Each structure stands twice: as C-alpha cells, then as structure tokens.
Amino acid sequence: MRKNIIAGNWKMNTTLPEGLALAKGLNEALKGKTPNCDVVIGTPFTHLASIAAAIDTTKIGVAAENCADQEKGAYTGEVSAAMVASTGAKYVILGHSERRAYYHETAEILKTKVGLALANGLTPIFCIGEVLEEREAGTHFEVVDGQIKDSLFELSPADFGKIVLAYEPVWAIGTGKTATSDQAEEMHAHIRATLAAKFGNQLADDCTILYGGSMNAGNAKELVSKPNVDGGLIGGASLSVENFMPIIEAFDK
Ligand code: PEP
C-alpha cells in the first residue's frame, strides 16, 4: 500500500530562529493527533540538525531541499547527501523546478543526486512537471515522462521503490493558479501507467505521487480525494502552522 504524504517546502524562507519556531509550532499542533498521512517539512540546510533535534521526528520527517551531485571533497559551498543524512533528515527534495531553471540542474545531474541520496539512506522526493508553454502545446505528458525516464529509469526496481514523486506543473507553483483536481488526476494516472510499463503494476501502484502547485487549505481536500493523488508538496502554505495544518487534515475522514 502506498503512503499518503503532506510535505512542506520552505524554500529560502525563515531564519534559523523563525524556522525552529515554525517547526516547534507544527510539532505542538500535531501532539495527540494521528494524521492520516505522513508529514514532512523541507527546510534550508542550515536548519536541518536543529529542527531534527527539536521535534518528534517519528511524527514529522525532515527533508533537505537539495544535495550535492558529488560524494565529498573539494566542492566549496556544497552539502552532500551524507551530510544531510547525518543531521537526522530522512528525505531530500530533488529536481524542484526552481533548481532545474535557476541552477541548471540537468536530468544527468539529478540522476547522480538521486543515486547519492539513496546510497545515504535518504528518500528522494523527486519533482517533475511541465512549464506553461509545454502544457499549452499539449506536450506535458511527454515532458513529464522524459523527466522520469532520464533520471530514474536506470534505478533497480528495489531502489525505484524508495522514491516519492511530486508532480508540480511549473505554471501552478507560487502563482495561486492550481491545477484542477481533474488535471492532477489525469497526469498522476498517466505517470502511474508510465511507471507500470517500466517497473510493473505493483511498484507503480505502490509509488506515492504528490501534487504540488498552490495547494492550500481551500483546495487540498478536493485534490487528495482523487485516487492517484497521494498528497502534496506545499510551498507558500507550509510557512505557517495555521495554513499547513488544514492541508494535513485534508486526509481526515
Ligand atoms: C513548491 O515550491 O513546491 C510549491 C508547490 O510551491 P507553492 O505551494 O507555493 O505553489
């Protein structure tokens, strides 16, 4: 059975004291509750160790938002997957559209990062998604298939089974313009079919596929009601407990 996950992506927001307060606030809000989904927060590298030490990591998983494409050594300013894992983080967000667009992360670089993340026991939350021009040209299925194939299809089935996917149409990220639940469901079902053709029905069925793009308290329930939408990767609305909790509660019956 695949997991439902609600994951926050704080991006380059919050100082360490602000991030700690946010994480502790979420930890407090979840006390005594058993959400019907796993909860993850993706924080800047500088916050990972302090946050992992300050919260109940059996209830809230901690994610880095990136890791290096090298194992170790003379790569000034980089943070390796081993370093991320040593903080207590259990996840790493890879292939976010902002990293692909602004930091020129190619499919090949991402393939290497995924391998290093897995080798260090981290669960990659691997982001895929088309830009507006691709959706308007009707090439969105092809684009997303290409992103999956080029970075993940050389994984063994066992390693592929450890990946979480996040479909994030780039035109919906930070724009307030959410994909409709039907658009999300259509793409997620397509992705599952692509995975089934490569890895078989069981692995495809077990793969958690998150939706990301202006998900919020108002639209989360409708999105996660779709059979192939297993949760969300949330940017803006993960930056306050008040906005994030109702998204977690979208899985409540
Ligand atoms: C994201 O950055 O992954 C994201 C989905 O952002 P937002 O929720 O702000 O659109």
Q: Quick one: pLDDT at residue 177?
A: 83
Backbone angles phi, psi at 62, to 5 degrees: -110, 135
* Residue whose structure tokens are 């109702």: 246
Q: How far is the CA of 20 from the centre of ligand 1 (A)?
A: 20
Q: How far is the CA of 167 from the centre of ligand 1 (A)?
A: 11
Q: Quick one: pLDDT at residue 174?
A: 85
Known catalytic residue: 65?
no
Residue of 214, 219, 223, 244 to mutate, ligand 1, most atoms within 8 A of C-beta: 214
**Does a structural domain hold residue 133?**
yes
Of 96, 105, 130, 134, the catalytic one is 96
CA angle, 171 as apex, 153 and 208 as ends, to 5°? 40
**Does a structural domain hold residue 194?**
yes
Q: Quick one: pLDDT at residue 26?
A: 98
The rounded distance, in Å, linking the Cα atoms of 232 and 191 is: 16
**Does a structural domain hold residue 20?**
no
Q: Quick one: pLDDT at residue 253?
A: 80
The rounded distance, in Å, linking the Cα atoms of 2 and 208 is: 6
Parallel, antiparallel, or unpaired: how do β-strands 91-94 and 123-128 relate? parallel
**Does a structural domain hold residue 26?**
no
Are 62 and 91 contacting, i.e. CB atoms less than 8 angstroms apart? yes
Q: Quick one: pLDDT at residue 205?
A: 98
| Residue 72 identity | K
7, β-bridge pairs? 40, 233
| Ligand 1 atom with the shortest distance to the CA of 232 | 5
| Residue 53 identity | A
Are 24 and 54 contacting, i.e. CB atoms less than 8 angstroms apart? yes
Are 47 and 20 contacting, i.e. CB atoms less than 8 angstroms apart? yes
Strand (E) positions, 26-133? 38-43, 60-64, 91-94, 123-128
Number of independent structural domains in the chain: 1
| Ligand 1 atom with the shortest distance to the CA of 175 | 10
Q: Quick one: pLDDT at residue 178?
A: 85
Q: Quick one: pLDDT at residue 9?
A: 98
Q: Quick one: pLDDT at residue 221?
A: 97
Residue 107: domain span: 5-12+38-251
The rounded distance, in Å, linking the Cα atoms of 186 and 60 is: 29
Q: What is the mean pLDDT of each run of 10 residues along the chain (253 residues)?
A: 96 98 98 96 98 97 98 98 98 98 98 98 98 96 98 98 98 88 98 98 98 96 97 98 98 89
User: Domain of 81: which CATH number?
Assistant: 3.20.20.70
**Does a structural domain hold residue 190?**
yes
**Does a structural domain hold residue 32?**
no
**Does a structural domain hold residue 189?**
yes
Of 65, 134, 168, 185, the catalytic one is 168
Q: Quick one: pLDDT at residue 89?
A: 98
Parallel, antiparallel, or unpaired: how do β-strands 231-234 and 209-212 relate? parallel
- Return the residue whose CA atom lies nearest to atom 2 of ligand 1: 235
Residues whose beta carbon lies within 6 Å of some atom of ligand 1: 9, 168, 173-174, 212-215, 233-237
Q: Quick one: pLDDT at residue 16?
A: 98
Are 127 and 97 contacting, i.e. CB atoms less than 8 angstroms apart? yes
Known catalytic residue: 96?
yes
**Does a structural domain hold residue 131?**
yes
Q: Give the number of other CB atoms < 10 A from CB of residue 76.
A: 4
